[in-house]
Chains A and B, each alone.
Chain A
Amino acid sequence: MTHEKFCASRRKFLQTMAASGAIAASDLAWWEAPFLSPRKASAASVVRFQFSVPEPLRISLVESLIERFHKAQSEVEVKVEFVPQAQARQKVITAIAAGNPPDLCMMWDNWLGELDGMGALEDLTSQIKSWKHYAATTPTAWQTVTVKGKIVSFPWAITNDAIFVRTDRAKEYGLQAPTADWTWDDFLTLAKGFTKPEKNQYGFGLRGGGTWAVLYASEFLYGNGAQVLKDGKVAINSPEAVSAFEWYIDLIRKHKVTPPSAPTDAYRQIVEGFGRGVTSMYLHNSGSIEEQKKFVGEPNFATLPIPIGPAKKRASFFFSETLTMFKAAKNKEGAWKFMTFLMDDEPHFDYCKTLGLLPTREALTKRPPYTGAAYAGFVGSFPFSIVSPYLAYPGWGGKLDSEGVPLFQQAFVGQLTPKQCLDKFAEMLTKNMA
């Protein structure tokens, strides 16, 4: 009798567990509305929007823009997912591979080639060309979002690179203030003047970590007449490039005008190094301007275009933050409506101004704060800014980080000569040109 009772209770236990599991499994959906959640009263269509978050400021900014959009209309409801920047690319690619991408994603232009290679992007060319602000948008901005002749995104904000300089320190040390047409020699002289290791002060916060370690070095290489691609072939290991790279590496190894941590310094380290007074110059996009205004104080720094190289040339790579719609988006109409709202004058200007990025329409750059000294270097770099050459091939996307950066770091620490580094780098780029 005892045994029967025991068997019956175990059977009932298993049945209960099975029923509980079935109910739990029915509520496992993540993006879709849970089966057991309350139903919505409104009939608004939902747009799923993935946004990458380099800093918390963007969360409140994007939420306020979404709120404004919701107040302006009632047909579309935007559900935003904030994803840390480090995981954003993997997340969107795995979502595409799984056949369930968001409707809309904020992403950087250097991902577009890769995603287009997956056949994931919606061709927006005809819609964008009939959009009211198409002609007023900077042509270079459209170039950053054009892949194989197709416009696949809106350039939400653009930026290029310029040198931040501590003007107060230049005065303090009696150094000649640089001008917009300064040369490599002027740059080196200034960097040496700023460098005082006994005070833990260095002239230039060279970036050795992250993808931009390769891009910033490449921008300097262009000053000596080098190019990443020439006549369709990889040319980054040309004699001009090697000679320029030797000069660049000498900043670390010979002149020692960079902090000892330069070979691994990434975005936060170069921005904070300047903000804390460890470095007096660094190369970056306009996104750190607002932060430096708080760190250093607006009157104490200025921005200048990249110095002119020995070949009387210089280059600054444009890149854009884009609003990209996917081919597999479930609500393309809603996504388009939201995208065009964000690209309207006031939301677009507010987004760019808050983050220190540049609007894509020239008329908006005539408004403060873009008319101030803090933005002078970036606006002044427009004439020689080019779309990043590393966008040319989708296969280069992740390889810059996984193979390019370690190669450059090996050169920065002296494990490879500049020529060896650039030869291996060129070999890697050529191999991944598909």
Chain B
Amino acid sequence: MSDGPGPLGANPNSPGAIAVNRQATIAVPAPRALLSRAMRETLANYAYLLPAAVCLGGTVLFPILKAIHMSLYHNVLSRPQDYQFIGIGNYLRMIHDPTFWLTLKNSFTWVFWSVSIQFVLGFLGALLLNAEFKGRAFYRTLNLLPWIIPGVVVGLVWEYLYQPNYGPINDILRRVGLLRVPIAWLSDLNLAMPAVVFTNIWRGIPFFSIMILAGLQAIPDEVYEAATVDGASVIQRFWHVTLPMLRPIIIVATATRIIWTFNYADLIFVMTSGGPANATQITSSYTLLSAYTDLDFGYAATLSVILLVIMLIFTAFYLKFTKGVESVSG
């Protein structure tokens, strides 16, 4: 201890100065925060995610839960006095509803033929567009047009094309001598579903061709060169190089397209409204009909829950089937 003035300019030996110095030298722990720094950072991160979670919950989770809730009630909007809890009553009604089973069969027909032919033709289109030729960029853009046009417009245009009395398809067929009597494409029980499937194929080909084209362009040329050097023919290169390397994209594109097509009601809604006599009625359009014509929201909710279950089962199989696909194809 010195006799000179301390840092405070006072006598460092005075009782006050000694007390201050004692306070300055005694270590006092800082007040402990309620939450640790790591916890505060974690909470801040969740807070930033909260708006997105709320939006997702509100637009995805809530409607699903609400639909499940509605499916347990007799809920016809024009008969509010009959609103009541009926448990699985709507599900039992669905099991005994022949129209539901017909629409399920139609849905599988619709999906199977639409997606399989879209895939084959889309693949062929991608192979063509991958080749070098003059005007390729133009044709690639043209190829996208059916996909870009809104579904309702596609439906209206093709409805006009199929019109038996003044539509261009029948007119051209008659002029070239292939038709004597007009064909009612959308009114014939046997032709209505093929006609709408054809329209859906036309619309969906660009999706597959673009996805597969992207995959084709990602395949390194060296792989093909190596295969050529090894003596592989065109077909062998396609089978042993192209297809395996495209497998992840094919699986993703096909699964996505299956899900969209299964739920896709606007083409059918516009072109045939599910007719004639429910020949083109699929489950999603039947759901729309139940909700917005019968105003039977309980039953419509039941149908939409069943659609959800079917898609979940499909997705589960898809995930199981594609597990490890990327490592296998890599």
Contact = CB atoms under 8 A, between A and B. Distances in A.
A244 interface: no
B19 to A, nearest CB: 35
A97 B77 CA distance: 7
B165 A399 contact: no
Contact of A260 (B182, B277, B292, B293): B182
Contacts of A263: 184, 187, 275-277
Contacts of B277: 263, 406-407, 409-410, 412-413, 415
B42 to A, nearest CB: 13
A172 interface: no
B321 interface: no
A260 B187 contact: yes
A107 to B, nearest CB: 13
Contacts of B81: 119
Contact of A398 (B80, B188, B295): B295
A261 B184 contact: yes
B165 A93 contact: no
A432 to B, nearest CB: 10
A263 to B, nearest CB: 5
Contacts of B278: 406
A276 B79 CA distance: 43
Given A397-B78, A406-B278, A410-B277, A261 B165 contact: yes
A273 interface: yes
B47 interface: yes
A371 interface: no
Nearest to A265: B187
A264 interface: yes
Nearest to A410: B277
Interface size class of A (residues with CB under 8 A): 35 or more
Nearest to A264: B187
Interface size class of B (residues with CB under 8 A): 35 or more
A356 to B, nearest CB: 23
A261 B186 contact: yes
B164 A413 contact: no
A276 B289 CA distance: 32
B47 A276 contact: no
Contacts of B289: 402
A94 to B, nearest CB: 7
B167 to A, nearest CB: 10
A346 to B, nearest CB: 36
Contacts of B183: 260
A276 B182 CA distance: 15
Contacts of B295: 90, 93, 398
B187 A276 contact: no
Interface in A309-355: none
A233 B163 CA distance: 41
B184 A259 contact: yes
Interface in B48-84: 48, 51, 77-81
Interface in A384-404: 394-395, 397-399, 401-402
B78 A208 contact: no
B317 interface: no
Nearest to B271: A264
A282 to B, nearest CB: 13
A273 B274 CA distance: 22
Contacts of A87: 292
Contact of A197 (B77, B78, B181, B275): B181
B294 A264 contact: no
A115 B78 CA distance: 7
B294 A399 contact: yes
A127 interface: no
B44 interface: yes
A409 B280 CA distance: 13
B276 A208 contact: yes
B165 A273 contact: yes
Interface in A258-317: 259-265, 272-273, 276, 278
18 contacts: A10-B48, A14-B48, A90-B295, A119-B81, A197-B180, A198-B180, A208-B187, A209-B275, A259-B165, A259-B184, A263-B187, A264-B187, A276-B165, A394-B78, A399-B294, A401-B293, A402-B294, A415-B277
Interface of A: 7, 10, 14, 17, 87, 90, 93-94, 97, 114-115, 117-119, 197-198, 200, 208-209, 259-265, 272-273, 276, 278, 394-395, 397-399, 401-402, 405-407, 409-410, 412-413, 415
Interface of B: 44, 47-48, 51, 77-81, 163-166, 180-184, 186-189, 272-278, 289-290, 292-295
Given A261-B165, A406-B274, 18 more contacts: A7-B44, A14-B47, A93-B78, A114-B78, A117-B79, A260-B181, A260-B188, A261-B182, A261-B187, A273-B165, A276-B166, A278-B165, A278-B166, A405-B275, A407-B277, A409-B277, A410-B277, A415-B189
